[in-house]
Structure 1
Amino acid sequence: MFTSRLADRWRSRDLLTDLVQVLKSVLAATLAWWISVWVLHSELPFLAPWIALLTVQVTVYRSVRSGVQIWVASALGVGVAYLVGTFLGVNLWTFALAVFVGLLGARIPRLRTEGVAIATTAIFVLGSGFGTQEALLNNRLLEAALGVAVALAVNLLIAPPLRKRQAARHVDGVNRRMGEILIEMADELESSWDTDRAEVWVQETEALSRRLSSVGQAVQVARESARLNPRDSTHWPHLTSERAQQSRQVANAGPVDYEEIFARLGEGIATLRNLALTVRESTHAEGRWDEYFRDQWVGILRDAGRSIHDPHAEVEPVQDRLDGLAGRMSQSGGLPPGVDWPVYGALITELHRIAAIVDDVASAQGARDPSQPNPQA
Structure 2
Amino acid sequence: MATKKIIETLQRPEFTTDTLQIVKTVIAATAAWWLSITILDSAMPFLAPWTALLTVHATVYRSLSRGAQSTVASAIGVGLSFLIGSFLGVSLWTFALALFVGLIGARVTWIRDEGIAIATTAIFVLGSGFDSQQPLLVERIVEIALGVAVGLAVNLIIIPPIRDRQASRYVDSINRRMGDVLINMSDEFSDSWDTDRAEDWFRETESMTDELNTAWQSVRFARESRKANPRGDLRKTLKNQRANREHHEAGEEDYSNILSRVDEGISHLRNLARTLRDASYAEGEWDTRFRRKWAEIVKDTGHSISDPDADVEPVYDRLDTLAKNLSGDGKLPETSWPLYGALITSLRHIVVVVDDVASAREAREPNDA
- Indicate the TM-score class for this superposition, using the shorter chain for normalisation: 0.7 to 0.9
Task: Name the CA distance, whole Å, in 2 between partners of 1:258 and 1:161.
Answer: 18
Q: Higher mean Cα deviation, 91-100 or 136-145?
A: 136-145
Structure 1 residues 176 and 101: alpha-carbon distance in aligned structure 2, compared to 1, 3 A threshold: same
The one-letter amino acid paired with 1:122 is A
Task: Name the CA distance, whole Å, in 2 between partners of 1:156 and 1:26.
Answer: 15
Structure 2 SS opposite 1:75:
helix
Structure 2 SS opposite 1:164:
coil
Task: Name the CA distance, whole Å, in 1 between partners of 2:80 and 2:171.
Answer: 47
Structure 2 SS opposite 1:162:
coil
Whether the 8 Å CA contact 1:237–1:257 is kept in 2: the answer is no
Report what 2:158 is aligned to: 158
Report what 2:326 is aligned to: 329
Whether the 8 Å CA contact 1:55–1:63 is kept in 2: the answer is yes
Residue 271, structure 1, aligned to residue 244, structure 2: no
| TM-score normalized with structure 1 length | 0.86
Instruction: Give 5+ residue unaligned stretches, structure 2.
Output: 233-240
Task: Name the CA distance, whole Å, in 2 between partners of 1:127 and 1:25.
Answer: 25
Report what 1:361 is aligned to: 357
Task: Name the CA distance, whole Å, in 1 between partners of 2:299 and 2:313.
Answer: 11
Task: Name the CA distance, whole Å, in 2 between partners of 1:266 and 1:317.
Answer: 23
Report what 1:147 is aligned to: 147
Pairing 1:99-114 to 2, within 5 Å after superposition? 99-114=99-114
Structure 1 SS opposite 2:154:
helix
Residue 262, structure 1, aligned to residue 245, structure 2: no
Whether the 8 Å CA contact 2:254–2:360 is kept in 1: the answer is no
Cα deviation code 1:206-237 (max 9, x no counterpart): 22223333232222222222222122453488
Residue 303, structure 1, aligned to residue 315, structure 2: no
Structure 1 residues 236 and 80: alpha-carbon distance in aligned structure 2, compared to 1, 3 A threshold: farther
Report what 1:249 is aligned to: none
Name the structure with the higher helix share: 2
Task: Name the CA distance, whole Å, in 1 between partners of 2:101 and 2:308.
Answer: 58
Structure 1 residues 337 and 16: alpha-carbon distance in aligned structure 2, compared to 1, 3 A threshold: closer
Residue 344, structure 1, aligned to residue 335, structure 2: no
Report what 2:191 is aligned to: 191
Task: Name the CA distance, whole Å, in 2 between partners of 1:296 and 1:66.
Answer: 59
Cα deviation code 1:99-155 (max 9, x no counterpart): 111111111122222111110011111112247867522222222121111111111
Deviation at 1:362, TM superposition (A): 4.5
Pairing 1:115-130 to 2, within 5 Å after superposition? 115-130=115-130
Q: Higher mean Cα deviation, 195-204 or 11-20?
A: 11-20
Deviation at 1:363, TM superposition (A): 5.3
Instruction: Give 5+ residue unaligned stretches, structure 1.
Output: 241-253, 371-377
Pairing 1:10-21 to 2, within 5 Å after superposition? 10-21=10-21
Whether the 8 Å CA contact 1:168–1:369 is kept in 2: the answer is no
Deviation at 1:51, TM superposition (A): 0.9
Task: Name the CA distance, whole Å, in 1 between partners of 2:203 and 2:133.
Answer: 64
Deviation at 1:29, TM superposition (A): 0.8
Whether the 8 Å CA contact 2:219–2:252 is kept in 1: the answer is no
Report what 1:283 is aligned to: 280
Task: Name the CA distance, whole Å, in 1 between partners of 2:355 and 2:219.
Answer: 20
Cα deviation code 1:315-355 (max 9, x no counterpart): 3332222223222322243x423551011111111111111
Task: Name the CA distance, whole Å, in 2 between partners of 1:318 and 1:238.
Answer: 33
Deviation at 1:311, TM superposition (A): 2.2
Equivalent pairs: percent with the same residue? Answer: 56
Task: Name the CA distance, whole Å, in 1 between partners of 2:263 and 2:281.
Answer: 28
Deviation at 1:31, TM superposition (A): 1.1
Deviation at 1:257, TM superposition (A): 1.7
Whether the 8 Å CA contact 1:55–1:151 is kept in 2: the answer is yes
Report what 1:208 is aligned to: 208
Q: Higher mean Cα deviation, 259-268 or 134-143?
A: 134-143
Whether the 8 Å CA contact 1:179–1:307 is kept in 2: the answer is yes
The one-letter amino acid paired with 2:30 is T
| TM-score normalized with structure 2 length | 0.88
Report what 1:172 is aligned to: 172
Structure 2 SS opposite 1:311:
coil
Task: Name the CA distance, whole Å, in 1 between partners of 2:168 and 2:80.
Answer: 46
Task: Name the CA distance, whole Å, in 2 between partners of 1:285 and 1:90.
Answer: 77
Structure 1 residues 168 and 131: alpha-carbon distance in aligned structure 2, compared to 1, 3 A threshold: farther
The one-letter amino acid paired with 1:53 is L
Q: Higher mean Cα deviation, 309-318 or 296-305?
A: 309-318
Task: Name the CA distance, whole Å, in 2 between partners of 1:237 and 1:80.
Answer: 48
